Amino acid sequence: MADLIGNCIVAQSGGPTAVINASIAGVVEEAYKHEQIEEVFGALNGILGILNEEIVDLSEEKNSAIKGLLYTPAAALGSCRHKLDFASADADKAAKAQRDCERVLEVFKAHNIRYFFYAGGNDSMDTADKINKLAQQQAYDLRVIGVPKTIDNDLPFTDHCPGYGSVVKYLATAVLEASRDLEAMSVGNTCSIIEVMGRHAGWIAAGTVLAKRAEEDGPHIVLLPEVPFDEAKLVAEVSSAMTKYGRCILVVGEGLRGPDGKLISFMGGKFEKDVFGHSQLGGVAEALRAIIEEKAGVKCRTAKLGIPQRAAGHIASKTDRDNAYLAGSRAVQLAVEGSTDVMVTLTREGAADSPKFGTGTAPLADIANNEKKLPREWINEAGTLPNEKFIEYARPLIQGEVNPPMEGGLPKYVRLEKHPVEKKCAAYETK
């Protein structure tokens, strides 16, 4: 295949993670190795930055800043939740998606962008796929590679998603520490309910089971969206833990649902749906508190770890970070070698307790809008705790520490300087 010569652009989308910036570092450092890639650009705030032609020249960043992306959480280029809603029943929205897609190509052509690397989740892979397809229709030579990213770990075809190992390392540490706290206060006979993210999949909640090194250690119960909520069983399990240990650590995924498929707690309120039509989750811990206090007669304290859990760079997993970097660098290699319209996947082989992680690919269109749930056979029969199969899967993902540099007692993270590339197109209305 003839070399495709031109510029590349990288962008970040969806919720930030502790390690998505490492994927950007992987893209940038790998891109420099290939002479076909002339300039290395970044788009600000994901696809929005392309639509708005807000492009920065990453080669003007200090080397120390690019290296700093290896330990800096969140999304250094900014992120967004802008959907190209081709499938919308609303004809205006579908037409807007088509215009957005055409605009992306207009901007790419203006800047001779021939390589597009998009780090994100389901919706981002859908967007990348649509852009790739339009480029092909227009016979514009473009290579589009997705880089997996989501703390929720719910993308199909990949062993795991960068971002997941770090959120689990943070939350398992929090549960381990809270468990020690409750153990010390066990004469107080309380149940501690910890609500974690993960949307409609239980991967994150399940990961906290890694804190359990002995039967008496928390978590004692993990409620997963994959297992329909059973109130009577919960009350019995909590009572049993209180009798056995004088305490109970209960972890619950925000997307827990009843047998009727309804969320156990739906926040409601003015902003109940985001732009993708996803429900705002959160609040299940308080719903469970009311049930346990009333029906089990056990005093509860709740915690909802919220945004800090997905940005916890101070205790990011080195394995996770390294795989995020690997996914980014492999995306560039694949594109240079001629691939397009695929997402990099992560693979594992070798011994279960010390696997080797590698990469593969999956078609973007197969990723889009396809959620991978926690397999039922990785959860115990009662549906109250992930089992050894899950632990064997998850434990390697939290190994090693990143240890960001500290300054004044707090982590010292980098910011990019974001040198703008001169605009060449007319302004565009993104809304």
Residues 381-400 contacting a copy of itself, CB under 8 A: 395, 398-400
d(CA 246, CA 239): 9
d(CA 301, CA 408): 32
Helix (H) or strand (E) holding 184: helix 164-184
What is the token pair recorded at 310?
A: 């997905």
d(CA 394, CA 358): 16
Cα dist from 71 to 9, 14, 132, 219, whole Å: 22, 19, 31, 29
Sheet strands (E) in 22-104: 37-43, 55-57
Spot the catalytic one: 85, 123, 152, 320. Answer: 152
Select from 159, 155, 118 the least CA-distant residue to 319. Answer: 159
3-state SS, residue 142: coil
Nearer to a copy of itself, 299 or 373 (CB): 299
Select from 3, 242, 6, 241 the least CA-distant residue to 111. Answer: 6
Nearer to a copy of itself, 28 or 312 (CB): 312
**Taking CB under 8 A as the rule, does residue 47 contact a copy of itself?**
no
152 annotated active-site: yes
Helix (H) or strand (E) holding 113: strand 113-120
Identify which range of 1-9, 341-349, 370-378, 404-412 contacts a copy of itself by CB under 8 A: 404-412
* Residue in 87, 188, 244, 392 binding a copy of itself, rule: CB under 8 A: 188
Min dist CB 1 to a copy of itself, Å, is: 36
Min dist CB 313 to a copy of itself, Å, is: 6
* Residue in 215, 381, 409, 431 binding a copy of itself, rule: CB under 8 A: 409
Residues 215-274 contacting a copy of itself, CB under 8 A: 269-271
d(CA 54, CA 46): 10
Binding mask 285-304 vs a copy of itself (x if CB under 8 A, - otherwise)?
Answer: -x--xx--xx--x-xxxxxx
DSSP code for 162: T
Min dist CB 393 to a copy of itself, Å, is: 14
Residues 190-219 contacting a copy of itself, CB under 8 A: 192, 194, 210-211
**Taking CB under 8 A as the rule, does residue 185 contact a copy of itself?**
yes
Look at the alpha carbons of 157, 356, 28, 338 in this order and tell me if their dihedral is positive or negative: negative
- Asked if 129 contacts 368 with a C-beta cutoff of 8 angstroms, the reply is yes
* Residue in 42, 73, 146, 202 binding a copy of itself, rule: CB under 8 A: 73
Binding mask 7-46 vs a copy of itself (x if CB under 8 A, - otherwise)?
Answer: -----x--xx----------------------------x-
Count of alpha carbons within 13 angstroms of residue 289, beta-carbon side: 15
Residues 307-366 contacting a copy of itself, CB under 8 A: 307-308, 310-315, 317
Residues 151-180 contacting a copy of itself, CB under 8 A: 169, 172-178, 180
**Taking CB under 8 A as the rule, does residue 379 contact a copy of itself?**
no
What is the token pair recorded at 253?
A: 């995924």
Size of the site for a copy of itself (CB under 8 A): 76
Catalytic residues: 152
